[in-house]
Structures are given as structure tokens and as C-alpha cells.
Amino acid sequence: MRVVRTVEQLRETLEYMRQGGHTPVGFVPTMGFLHEGHASLLRKAAEMSNTVVMSIFVNPLQFGPNEDFEAYPRDERRDLELAEREGADIVFIPSVEEMYPQPTRTQVTVSSLTTQLCGASRPGHFDGVTTVVSKLFNMVQPDYAFFGLKDAQQVAVLRRMVSDLNMNVQIVACPIVREADGLALSSRNVYLSAEERSQALVLSHSLREAREAIQTGQVRTAAEVRGLLVSVIESSPLAVIDYAEILSFPELEPLDQGISLNEAPGEIIMALAVKFGRTRLIDNNVFIPKEVAVLV
């Protein structure tokens, strides 16, 4: 495994790998402080690619002024151990100066998909994501790029960007990885106190209950599902709901209120963002209601 810190070293190393025939190239962009979710992306990348590149970069552009850019957890030594163990060939760890030698005047923006959910709560967040991912794609020129479905909106936005701009890369979305008790893995989970950690289980519990209630026919409309999600989450005294939404996926458009979910044509997403103290957690479930119904 080679660790590179400059764009030039990265390009040289990739050129060497390509000339040696070690293609396709798979790419796993991360902000570091890696967990089993990232490990699952690396394993998928290793399965599909002959060169696996991971980047570790906490991108200031995608953090709001009052967000946790400075406090975001970092542990390079541990990250490198995990990357090596999970089969990364190249780890790219640029400084902020290497990524932004001058303030960027160029932005890549995706409209409409970015106005709701995390886009509404975190203005400018997705512009920062699409801009830095465009830069990283231009540096790595991967055949495949791997993203976790915990950030389902990010997957939807990046797929649209790739399609609209004819980028020569395939976005591979990988399932959410959870703790044994259901909590979705996140680098931000370390912020949680013991009590918050315990109450944070309402996210995954509410999603599971909603799925079951859809299956058994207890709830039928998006409004009813939302009501159920909210009532389960509010059973936690520490939970402060940022959003709880049911939308089409990947279009992220509202479903007709009132119609039965089973009549929705494609995939839908139940998406949650909930604060516990200063920590904001997200979780979601993407599924096809018709197929869930068929399982009953």
C-alpha cells in the first residue's frame, strides 16, 4: 500500500498502476476516522477493481460555518491500518492547501435534488460535496466509485451529477452497515454520551417499525408513515427531529399525500435526521413498497 499526499504523486502512482495493467480502478472517497462501513466499501472495491484508491480528506467546503469541521474526528494511524488490512493499494491524504491552493471559484452544483432533507438543513453542503468529488474524480479518474447508502441523498445527487456531466465513472452504492443493536455506523457516533448512544437507537427502531407497519397494512400513506416515525422517535426524550421524510428515490420528490404507498411506482426512501445534544445523526431505508407488500 502506498500513501501519497500530493496530486502529482497520486497521478504518478496511478499512471504506474495503469501501465502495469492493474485496471479497473476503484475509488473510495472518505473523510477518514474509518469504521466498518468504510471497510465494507473497500472490500466491495477490491472485489470489483484491480487498483483500489482510498482518499481521506475532511473537506472544509461541505461544512457550514457553525458545523463540526474543526472538531471532526481524525486518526490517521488507525485509518491507515484499516486501509491496509482491507486491501487499499493507494491512500491519498491531501492537505487543505493541496486540495485548494487558492480559494475555488468553480463550483459544481446539482439543483432540486439538493433542496430537501440534508440540503435544507445544511445549506451549501451538497455544493461542497459535488465540487470536491468532481476534483477527486478528475485526479483519480476511477472506473468505479463506492459510496455508502447511509448518505442516500449524496448517492442520488452524485448519480445525477455523473449522468448530467457524462463523467466516465460508475457510482456503486453499498448497504448501510449497523452495530449489532441497529445503530448505523458513523464517524460522528463517537460524539455521543452513553445515554445519547442508547437513545439514538430510536432511528433504526423507527425505520424498522415503519417497514413492519407497511408490511402488515397498519399504515398506508406517506403521512401515516411519517406519523409513526415521529411518534417512535419522540419516545426518546433527548431526540430533536431535524427531518423525517418519505420521498421517491432517487428523485427525492414528495409522494402524493393520501395515496397508498403501494401505489408508488418505484423506490421510496424513509429518511431521518435527528439531533442528540450537539450530535446530528442520519439514517434511512430505501425500498420498493410493492415488494415489501408482496412479502406479507
Please state, in angstroms and as integers, the Cα–Cα distance from residue 128 to each residue in 54, 59, 161, 241, following that order: 19, 8, 13, 24
Angle CA 4–58–133, to nearest 5: 80
Check binding of 134 to a second copy (CB under 8 A).
yes
- Please pick, from the candidates 122, 125, 135, 226, the single residue that binds a second copy as defined by CB under 8 A: 135
Interface of this chain with a second copy, residues 167 to 196, rule: CB under 8 A: 167-168
As measured in angstroms, the least distance from the Cβ of 114 to a second copy is 9
Q: Annotated catalytic residue: which of 22, 38, 125, 205?
A: 38
Q: Are 88 and 47 in contact (CB under 8 A)?
A: no
- Please pick, from the candidates 141, 170, 260, 262, the single residue that binds a second copy as defined by CB under 8 A: 141
| Residue 42 is labelled as binding a ligand | no
Nearer to a second copy, 121 or 141 (CB): 141
Q: Are 284 and 267 in contact (CB under 8 A)?
A: no
Using alpha carbons, select from 284, 275, 16, 286 the residue that is nearest to residue 150.
284
Check binding of 166 to a second copy (CB under 8 A).
yes
Site string (86-125) toward a second copy, x via CB under 8 A: ------------------xxxxxxxxxx------------
Cα(117)–Cα(115) distance, integer angstroms = 7
Q: Are 32 and 133 in contact (CB under 8 A)?
A: no
Check binding of 153 to a second copy (CB under 8 A).
no
Whether a cis peptide bond, with omega within 30° of 0, leads into 123 is no
Site string (50-89) toward a second copy, x via CB under 8 A: ----------------------------------------
Whether a cis peptide bond, with omega within 30° of 0, leads into 175 is no
Nearer to a second copy, 160 or 226 (CB): 160
As measured in angstroms, the least distance from the Cβ of 106 to a second copy is 4
Cα(70)–Cα(278) distance, integer angstroms = 14
HSE, side-chain direction, 13 A CA sphere, residue 119:
20
- Please pick, from the candidates 160, 205, 220, 280, the single residue that binds a second copy as defined by CB under 8 A: 160
Using alpha carbons, select from 12, 125, 237 the residue that is nearest to residue 2.
12
Check binding of 161 to a second copy (CB under 8 A).
yes
In the chain, the amino acid numbered 200 is: A
| Catalytic-residue membership of 38 | yes
Cα(179)–Cα(181) distance, integer angstroms = 5
- Please pick, from the candidates 1, 71, 96, 165, the single residue that binds a second copy as defined by CB under 8 A: 165
Nearer to a second copy, 88 or 110 (CB): 110
As measured in angstroms, the least distance from the Cβ of 108 to a second copy is 5
CB atoms within 10 A of CB 260: 17
As measured in angstroms, the least distance from the Cβ of 269 to a second copy is 18
**Cα 275 to chain centroid, rounded:** 17
Check binding of 6 to a second copy (CB under 8 A).
no
As annotated, the active-site residues are 38
Interaction site with a second copy (CB under 8 A): 7, 11, 104-113, 130-131, 134-135, 138-139, 141, 160-161, 164-168
Residues within the annotated binding site? 31-38, 62, 148-151, 154, 177, 185-188
